[in-house]
C-alpha cells in the first residue's frame, strides 16, 4: 500500500487514496497532524530504539556495524538512568512536548529535525545521528498509520523543499534527501520517491481546476519557504511526467520557525536581559540570547547549553547592570528551556494573525511572569523574514519570464496577514488564493503517489 508522506518541519501527516479522494490518516489520539518533535531520556537511546526495530530486517547488519561503538555504551547509560526493559524511552509528537515540558533538564528534545538535515559541515557522526532521529520518527509514524489502516505500507512519496539550506546548494540537498531516503527505507518503505512540497500543494489545487492557469505556488512551511511556478489545469493533470510544466522554482531555509524565533528574540528576550548593559555601560552581547532562541541550529544550541558557556554566564552575572533579568537567562540555560520560550513566541505569532495582542506565559522562568506582545511587535520582528519570502516569489516570477494568473498560498504561516500584505504590495494585484494551510501538501503527495505507484 502507498501513502503520501509530509515529513514537515512543523508537522507530519500521511494520506491515502479513498476511491478518488485523499483521506488523511490519524497519527496521534485521532489527530491527523503530529508535531515534528522527538524526546528521549538520552540521545543514545534513539540508536537503541532503531536497532531494536531493525531486528530481522535486511538493514540490521549494516546498521549494527556502523553504530556498534555507540550501542556498546547503552548498558551503562541505561544503568545510570535506572531504566527498566519495559520503560518507554522515546516519544514523538505531543507526547514528546509533554515529556520535555515536565523534564526539560533531564533528556534530549529536538523540534523540526528536518531543518538540520541539509546543514553544511556536518561530520559523519552527526549525519548518522540525524538518520537515526528520522528513522525513529518514521518508524513510529508508519506503525501508527498501519495500525489505523490495518494494512502494511510499502511505498511512499515524501515531500521535500526546493532547497534545504540557503547555502550549499545541491550538496546540501543531496545530503538531506539521502538522510530521508535511508531513514524511510530502514523504517520499512521499499519504494521511496520525492516531490517538491510546493508542487505537491499545486497538484492538489490543480485537481479542482476547470481551465488551464499559470500558478505561482508559495508554500511557507515551518523550516523553509518554497515557490513553484507551474502550468496547471485539465491539459496538464494526469501526466506522470510534468517536468516541462514547471517553469521555475525558488526556495530558502526561512519559514514559520524563523518567525517564531525572531519574535521570541525581539519580543521576549528583553525580559532576560537583551538590550541591557554591563556595569561599565557597555552593551551586553546579543549572541547568547540569539543562541538560546535559535532552536533550529544544532551548533548554536550545543554552544549555548555547554558547561563552559554555563560557567561564562555565571561569571558575567556580577558585572551586569540588571542581574535579576540576567538570572532568568541563566535559569533558562541551566534548565534547557529555550524550546519553551520559543513555543510562547509561536503561540503569539499564531494568535496575532487574528488578534491585536497576546499574553505570553513565562511562568517557567519566574512565577507569574508574562509579556504582552502586539501585532506591531510581530511586524517589526519578522520584517527581515518576510522580505526574504517576497524575494523568493519575485525570483520565481522572473525566472519563469511571465506573470502568474493566480498565487496559491499554503503552509502554516501563509495565513499571516503580514505576509499577504507584503506579497500584494510587491507583486501587484494578482489574485491570491488560500489552500488548506496544513493539508494541501499531503493531499498532493498522495495524488502523486497514486500516479507513480500504479
- Is the pLDDT confidence value at 421 over 90? yes
Which three three-digit cell numbers place residue 340? 519553551
Judged against a pLDDT cut of 70, whether residue 168 lies above it is answered with no
* C-alpha cell read off for 384: 527581515
* CA atoms of 325 and 317, how far apart (whole Å): 10
Provide the CATH number for the domain around residue 58: 3.30.420.40
Q: What is the chain's Cα-based Rg?
A: 23
Per the structure, the complete domain to which residue 193 belongs is given by 2-197
Sort strands 155-160 and 191-196 into parallel, antiparallel or unpaired. Answer: parallel
Q: How many domains does the chain have?
A: 1
**pLDDT > 90: percent of the chain:** 72
For residue 107, is it within any domain?
Answer: yes
Q: Are 232 and 347 in contact (CB under 8 A)?
A: no
pLDDT tops 70 at residue 317: yes
Question: C-alpha grid cell for residue 433?
Answer: 488564493
Q: What HEC string does 324-381 produce? A: HHHHHHHHHHHCCCHHHHHHHHHHHHHHCCCCCEEEEECCCCCCCCEEEEEHHHHHHH
Q: Find the mean pLDDT for residues 238-258.
A: 84
Residue 262 inside a domain? The answer is: no
Helix (H, G, I), strand (E, B) or coil at 396: helix
On whether residue 135 sits in a domain, the answer given is yes
| 54: in domain | yes
Alpha-carbon gap, residue 263 to 275, rounded angstroms? 15
Q: Which band of pLDDT confidence, cut at 50, 70 and 90, is reported for residue 251? A: confident
CA distance 92 to 106: 16
Indicate whether 301 belongs to any domain.
no
Residues β-bridged to residue 335? none
The CA-based dihedral angle spanning residues 113, 118, 123, 126, taken in that order and rounded to the nearest 10 degrees: 10
* pLDDT for the residue numbered 415: 81
Residue with cell 502494511: 152
Residue 203 lies in a domain: no
Q: Which three cell numbers stand for residue 275?
A: 538590550
* 8 A C-beta contact, residue 233 and residue 255: no
| Range in 169-173, 262-266, 355-359 the model is least confident about | 169-173
Q: Is there a domain that residue 67 lies in? A: yes
Q: What is the pTM of this model?
A: 0.81
Amino acid at each position: 500500500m502507498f501513502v503520501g508522506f509530509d515529513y514537515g518541519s512543523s508537522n507530519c501527516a500521511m494520506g491515502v487514496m479513498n476511491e478518488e479522494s485523499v483521506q488523511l490518516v490519524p497519527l496521534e489520539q485521532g489527530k491527523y497532524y503530529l508535531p515534528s518533535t522527538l524526546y528521549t531520556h538520552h540521545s543514545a537511546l534513539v540508536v537503541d530504539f532503531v536497532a531494536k526495530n531493525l531486528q530481522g530486517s535486511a538493514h540490521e547488519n549494516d546498521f549494527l556495524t556502523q553504530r556498534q561503538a555507540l550501542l556498546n555504551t547503552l548498558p551503562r547509560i541505561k544503568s545510570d538512568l535506572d531504566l527498566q526493559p519495559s520503560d518507554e524511552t522515546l516519544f514523538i509528537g505531543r507526547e514528546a512536548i509533554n515529556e520535555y515540558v515536565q523534564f526539560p533538564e533531564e533528556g534530549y528534545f529536538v523540534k523540526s529535525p528536518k531543518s538540520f538535515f541539509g546543514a553544511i559541515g556536518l561530520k559523519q557522526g552527526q549525519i548518522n545521528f540525524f538518520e537515526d532521529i528520522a528513522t525513529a520518527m518514521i518508524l513510529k509514524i508508519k506503525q501508527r498509520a498501519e495500525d489505523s489502516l490495518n494494512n502494511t505500507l510499502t511505498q511512499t512519496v515524501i515531500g521535500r523543499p526546493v532547497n534545504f539550506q540557503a547555502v550549499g546548494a545541491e550538496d546540501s540537498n543531496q545530503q538531506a534527501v539521502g538522510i530521508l531516503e535511508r531513514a524511510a527505507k530502514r523504517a520499512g518503505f521499499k519504494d521511496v520517491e520525492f516531490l517538491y512540497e510546493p508542487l505537491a500543494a499545486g497538484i492538489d489545487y490543480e485537481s479542482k481546476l476547470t481551465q488551464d492557469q499559470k500558478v505561482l505556488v508559495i508554500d511557507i512551511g515551518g523550516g523553509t519557504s518554497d515557490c513553484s511556478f507551474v502550468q496547471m489545469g485539465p491539459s496538464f493533470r494526469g501526466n506522470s511526467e510534468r517536468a516541462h510544466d514547471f517553469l521555475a522554482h525558488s526556495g530558502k531555509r526561512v519559514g514559520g520557525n524563523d518567525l517564531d524565533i525572531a519574535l521570541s528574540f525581539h519580543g521576549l528576550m528583553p525580559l532576560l536581559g537583551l538590550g541591557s548593559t554591563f556595569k561599565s555601560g557597555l552593551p551586553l552581547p546579543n549572541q547568547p540570547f540569539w543562541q538560546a532562541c535559535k532552536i533550529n541550529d544544532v551548533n548554536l544550541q550545543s554552544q549555548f547549553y555547554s558547561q563552559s558557556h554555563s560557567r561564562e554566564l555565571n561569571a558575567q552575572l556580577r558585572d551586569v547592570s540588571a542581574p535579576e533579568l540576567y538570572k532568568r537567562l541563566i535559569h533558562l540555560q541551566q534548565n534547557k528551556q529555550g524550546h519553551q520560550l520559543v513555543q510562547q513566541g509561536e503561540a503569539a505569532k499564531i494568535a496575532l494573525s487574528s488578534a491585536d495582542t497576546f499574553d505570553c506565559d513565562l511562568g517557567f522562568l519566574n512565577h507569574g511572569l508574562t509579556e504582552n506582545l502586539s501585532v506591531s511587535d510581530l511586524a517589526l520582528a519578522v520584517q527581515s523574514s518576510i522580505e526574504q519570502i517576497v524575494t523568493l516569489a519575485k525570483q520565481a516570477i522572473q525566472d519563469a519570464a511571465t506573470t502568474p494568473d493566480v498565487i496559491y498560498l499554503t503552509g502554516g504561516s501563509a495565513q499571516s496577514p503580514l505576509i499577504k500584505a507584503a506579497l500584494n504590495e510587491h507583486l501587484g494585484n494578482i489574485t491570491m488564493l488560500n489552500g488548506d494551510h496544513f493539508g494541501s501538501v499531503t493531499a498532493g503527495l498522495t495524488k502523486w503517489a497514486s500516479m507513480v505507484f500504479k
